[in-house]
Structure formats: C-alpha cells, structure tokens
Amino acid sequence: MSDTSFDVVVIGAGPAGYPCAIRAAQNKLKVACIDEWKNYDGTYAFGGTCLNAGCIPSKALLESSELYHRAHAEFAAHGIAATGLAFDVAKMQKRKAGIVKASTQGITGLFKAAGVTALQGHGRLLAGNRVEYTAADGGKRELVAKHVVLASGSQPMALKSLPFDGKQVVDSWGALEFGSVPKRLGVIGAGVIGLELGSVWRRLGAEVVVVEAMEQFLAMADQAVAREALKHFKQQGLDIRLGAKVSGADVKKDGVTLKYTDAKGEQTVTVDKVVVAIGRRPFTDGLLGDGTGVRLDERGFIQVDDECHTGAGNVWAVGDVVRGPMLAHKGKEEGVMVGDLIAGLHSEVNYRAVPSVIYTAPEIAWVGQTEEQVRASGREYKVGSFPFMASGRARAMEAPAGFCKVIAAKDDDEILGVHIIGAMAGELIAEAVLAMEYSASTEDLQRTMHAHPTLSEALHEAALAADKRAIDFPNR
C-alpha cells in the first residue's frame, strides 16, 4: 500500500476516533487518523473536546476547587485548623494545562506505538471512500481508504440573543480558562456543564446564578436524586432559578444584564461573565463533500444503525456526531466496536448500560432506567435505598450526604436502574454497570461480598433493601 492508501481513515481523534484508530491498528489494519483540533495557543493537539476542553480540564479544576472548599468547610470537623487559606488561580490553571498536555501527548504516543499514521489538519470525506486531507501548511492530499470512520464530535450551542464574545459571554471552554474568579457569574443551563463549572467557580468564591429554562431540575435523572442534589447545591450557594427562559441580554463593559421570564414575569439579573451551557450540537462543518451518500437527521446528527454504519459504502460514524448520549465513554465503545467490525470481528455496544456521572459534590451517577421511566413502562418494580449517613466509611470520611437506590423488576428481580448521589458515586456506579451488563438480579448483588468499611457497602445494602433485607438500616 502507498502512503495515501489505507485500510481505515478516521476523521477526528477525540475519545471516539482515537480508540477506533488504535483498535483497527491492533487488528492489523493500516490506519490513518486525521484531526484538526487547535488549542488557544495555536498548537495542534489530539484528544478532541474531551482531553483539551472537556472531561479532563473540567475534572482538574473540580478537584482543585473541591480541595480548597473542603479545607475551608470540612477540615475543622477533623480537628485540623486551616488558617490563612489561599488559592492561586494561575497555579490551578497551570496544573490543569499540564494534565491536558500530558494527556494529549499521550495520544500521540499511543498512535506511534500502535502504528497509526497521525495526521494533523482537516479531513473531508469525498465520494468513493476517498478523503481529502488538508495539512497545516494548506497542502492537500487525497487518501483512499477501504473504510472511513467519521468521528468529528460536537460543539457548543449558542444563544441567538447572547452570542459568544469570548470575554464576557463564553462557552464551557472559555469558562475553563478564566484567569481570575468572576465576582458574579451567570450560567445559562442547569445541565451537566452548568452544574460542574458553576460548582468550580462557586467554590472559589463567585456568586453564581444558574438560569434554567425547564421547571424540572435535572429532568434526565431519577427525581429522588434530583431533589437531593438541588438541596445540596442550594446549600452550597448556587442560586438555581428554574423555569426561567432567557429572552435577551444587555452586554456592557461593566456587566451583562440577562433578561428572563419565569412564573412571576420578566426578570433581570446582572453578572460580570456568562457561561452559556445549553447543550451541544453535532459538528459536521466541512466534513462531507458532494455525493458521499452520508445522511444527516433533522438535528444534524449523522444517521447510523446500531453498529454505527452510515449505510453509505464503507462509511461509519461514532461518538457525539451520532445519536445517543454525548459522553466520552459511549463514543469510545462505539469506536472500539467499529474498529473490530471493520476487521470482521463480532462486536456490539450495549446502549442500555451507559453510565452517566455528574462530577459535582455530592457526585451523581446512574445507569439504566429512572424510577419515573420504569413506572411509565408499566412494569411492576421494587426499590431499595440506602443512605450514606448509615455507612461507617461515609461517616468516617465526613461524607454522609446522599444515598444509593436500586430499582429492580418485581417478576424476575432483574436490576433495571441504579442511582447514586454521594461521595465517589462515579466510581461506585461501575459495579452497577457490570451488574447490568450481565443482567444481574438484586439477589446477585445481595450475595456478593463487599469489603468493609467501603462506600460500596451502600450499594450492597440498597440491593438488600429492595427485598426489605437490609442489615444496617431499618427496612421500610
């Protein structure tokens, strides 16, 4: 094969594209992966939104701000006097940038080790499984591939009445780059980004107002969890205004006045900076040449079947640019599946067991159906809950907030959903995902030994509670 001829060309090296390229290479295929991501300093970097402007930098700042908050609010309970506490945003940002750099350079290393040809620049699918590659210097080359995988990701949605200006009105990436703590921060959208980034800046002292259009808080989550979460976020000082639809804004040098309508009528709130976090849309700008046969749905997602095949020749699409939750791990599993399917191996993604995690404090995590969804399905069910307050480990950690909740079918005891709010919920949910992957019953969890004292005992006890057999908490 020549330098321009490949078994697989992947366009996009985010968490969906790069694992696809690596898995295809592991399957002894000749692979190239093209990515055009550029950071604010103008340098190319692999890893997409997740590594450069999403999952990783947000978790770095969540960790730093949480440590500061805990030192401030919790150390005293441990008998530790933390006087003269101070933080340095520049140092926090530097630590974050170092983590991002190490992570993105790691992808370059992984490509090298796997034998993937890494190309930085723009990729465009042409008819007939050809890909036009435009390098950084503007030079164009045409690649021919037996299979092409589109993994071009997503981008933030903008508000017509409040366009991004990169200074006072920013998207999530902008909010991860603040060089100082805004005195008053407005967040539009109480979704995952709004809550995570609102928490970061609130913990560091900003007055944070979150304006959310829907009446219901965290509509996608189990509502018992959502109610518990709202209580904690309010205690932390997040001013969450529900049922508030933004109708316009006045951007002036000394502040942004947001206008919104809620049940009481027209309202305004003035802040120094605004983060618009109202969702993301699939990104396909400049991706598709004429006559490729790849179709977009009415919301702009590339249409695919359950195996991520577009139905147009040997063209596949994975990650945020296709239907399903916009999550890095969902994209990764799709990428790996396609890397195997192309090589003729069997593979599938279980879309019923995709975990969701919100990295706030307390953390929120779930897998499977919410109680509201199970009720609406008409299936008879039982619920077991266990509060972290009754967990010895949680009390020892000074983290008694929240609970584990297991929902299971009444007829065959199969676990239908697990919902956790509390410390380390994002780690604890892995056991529930594995349980659901194996179609486990609550009895399977009940009969599994859990180390003591661990937070995972709360999940064990919640499974027992589903049959009113919890040991460490009165059964109701």
Please give the residues from 401 up to 440 whose contact with ligand FAD meets the rule CB under 6 A: none
Q: Which stretch binds ligand NAI (CB under 6 A): 68-76, 90-98, 133-141, 208-216?
A: 208-216
Residue of 226, 230, 187, 232 lying closest to 206 (CA atoms): 187
Binding status of residue 171 toward ligand NAI by CB under 6 A? no
Q: Which x/- pattern over 172-191 shows residues binding ligand NAI (rule: CB under 6 A)?
A: ----------------xxxx
Least separation, in Å, of the C-beta of 321 and ligand NAI?
Answer: 13
Residues contacting ligand NAI: total by CB under 6 A? 25
Binders of ligand NAI in range 242-261 (CB under 6 A): 245-246
Determine the Cα–Cα distance for residues 183 and 12; give it in Å rounded to an integer. Answer: 37
Q: What is the dihedral of CA 205, 209, 212, 217, to 10 degrees?
A: 60
Interaction pattern, residues 84-123, with ligand FAD; x per rule: CB under 6 A? --------------------------------------xx
Q: Given candidates 8, 32, 55, 458, which one binds ligand FAD under the rule CB under 6 A?
A: 55
> Which of 116, 125, 115 is closest to 150 using CA atoms?
125
Stretch that binds ligand FAD, among 248-256, 317-325, 370-378, 414-422 (CB under 6 A): 317-325
Comparison of 194 and 368: residue with beta carbon closer to ligand NAI: 194
Q: Which of 33, 48, 354, 428 binds ligand FAD (CB under 6 A)?
A: 48
x/- string (CB under 6 A) for ligand FAD, residues 166-185? ------x-------------
Q: Measured in Å, how far apart are the chain's first and last C-alpha atoms?
A: 68
Q: What tokens appear for 189 in the block?
A: 């959208």
The span from the CA of 29 to the CA of 397, in Å, is 49
* Residues across the chain: 476
Amino acid letter, residue 84: G
Cα–Cα distance between 402 and 235 in angstroms, integer?
Answer: 14
**In contact, 349 and 413? CB cutoff 8 Å:** no
Told to check if 163 binds ligand NAI by CB under 6 A, we report: no
Binding-site string for ligand NAI from residue 294 to residue 333, where x marks contact by CB under 6 A and - marks none:
-------------------------------xxx------
Residue 48 contacts which entry, ligand NAI, ligand FAD, none (Cβ below 5-8 A, type-dependent): ligand FAD
Q: Does 327 bind ligand FAD (CB under 6 A)?
A: yes
DSSP code of 76? G
Considering only residues 255 to 294 of the shown chain, the ones binding ligand NAI according to CB under 6 A are 277-280
Of 13-21, 259-267, 412-420, 435-443, the segment contacting ligand FAD by CB under 6 A is 13-21
Q: Give the torsion sign (CA, 369, 374, 379, 382).
A: positive
Which residues neighbour 148 within 8 Å (Cβ) at sequence distance 6 or greater? 8, 9, 10, 11, 125, 129, 131, 314, 315, 316
Among positions 118-177, residues that touch ligand FAD (CB under 6 A) are: 122-123, 151-154, 172
Active-site pick, 69, 450, 452, 460: 452
Which of 451, 458, 456 lies closest to 388, judged by CA?
458
d(CA 66, CA 79): 19
- Active-site residue 232, yes or no? no
Q: Which of 105, 104, 90 is nearest to 53 (CA)?
A: 104
DSSP for residue 166: S
Contact residues toward ligand NAI (CB under 6 A) are 159, 188-194, 196, 211-214, 245-246, 277-280, 325-327, 357-359
Which residues are catalytic, by number? Answer: 452
